[in-house]
Structure 1
Amino acid sequence: MAIQRNLPKMALAIIAVANVYTGFGHPGYRLKIPNGINVPNPCTNVGGLWNAVGHNVEIGGGTLNPFGKDFVEAGESWTQTLCSMDSDNDGRINGFELGDFNCSWFEGQPPMGDATGHPGICEPMDDPKCIEMNKDVSCR
């Protein structure tokens, strides 16, 4: 009987731990792209860094943004093709936004430069061409 009473508590604990892990957009993926741990938050009123680069919500979860979808299509790795794409259609290729200007970065290497933007969120966010594209982005 004691096990049955504790089971719901254990299940809640497991769910809580799972939510903490997934709430940060699979941290290991951040190491698979240049400057993945240093992507600027495009929300002008918030600042800081965007932890879940492939998601429409900074802490992860929910739907993938265009870069997240392209990353999955690329086999969840940084490729020449993914680097040279402009996933968010803001006029700058993913490599430029992530500091890999000539698409030569490999996992484990330092990037050539700093991240200058977010590859999955059209910037600047208040630009008319970006407003519709970013309709699912959550700035908190």
Structure 2
Amino acid sequence: MMMRLVLFCAILSVSFAYSGYKQYIPNGRNVPNPCPHGKATWSAAGHTDSHGGGARNLFGMDFASSAHVWTHDLCMTDSDLDGKRNGEELGDPHCKWSPGQTPDSAATGHPGICEPINDPKCQSVNLHIVC
């Protein structure tokens, strides 16, 4: 019984630890879900699965490479190769946002999923996305 409780607490702490990353990107709690028939927002902007955990998408890899810090370079990057910079998609088009501030505008796209999701140009980029 004690072992189950310890295991449960360990899993719970890991699942909540990563939710803190949302505060380190503009509109991190309101990243639009580009999947048809999905909920309005994507819970884990840096992952291929909308619920988080598992494999990282291209934005997640770039965010990890920047030491989980919203930098000017990360803002200017088009991680998902859809022709829109990460900052543009996340509501920080001028790359001036920092944690605790309100972004210039609402997020208009997902920085780790090429959109529109079913567009032929996005097929290879979105190969592992789980809607």
TM-score (structure 1 length as normaliser): 0.87
Pairing 1:129–2:114 present? no
Q: Which amino acid aligns with 1:129?
A: K
CA 1:25–1:94: 2 relative to 1, 3 Å: farther
Are the counterparts in 2 of residues 99 and 115 from structure 1 also a CA contact under 8 Å? yes
**Aligned partners of 1:41 and 1:49 also within 8 Å:** yes
Q: Give the partner amino acid of 1:30.
A: K
Give the stretch that moved more between structures: 23-32 or 118-127.
Answer: 23-32
Kindly indicate whether the alpha-carbon contact (under 8 Å) linking 1:25 and 1:55 is maintained by their aligned counterparts in 2.
no
- Is the aligned partner of 1:55 residue 2:64? no
* Residue from 6, 18, 34 that aligns with 1:26: 18
Larger radius of gyration: 1
Matched, 1:67 2:31: no
CA RMSD in angstroms comes to 1.5
Q: Which residue of 1 aligns with 2:38?
A: 46
Q: TM-score, normalised by structure 2?
A: 0.93
Flag the 1:15–1:25 CA change in 2: closer, same or farther, 3 A. Answer: same
For structure 2, list consecutive stretches of 5 or more residues without a partner in the other structure.
none
Q: 1:81 aligns with which of 51, 73, 76?
A: 73
Say whether 1:102 aligns with 2:84. Answer: no
**Structure 1: any 5+ residue segments left out of the alignment?**
1-8
Q: Are residues 126 and 63 of structure 1, via their aligned partners in 2, closer, same or farther at CA, if it must alter by over 3 Å?
A: same
Report how many aligned residue pairs link the two structures: 131
Q: Aligned residues: percent identity?
A: 48
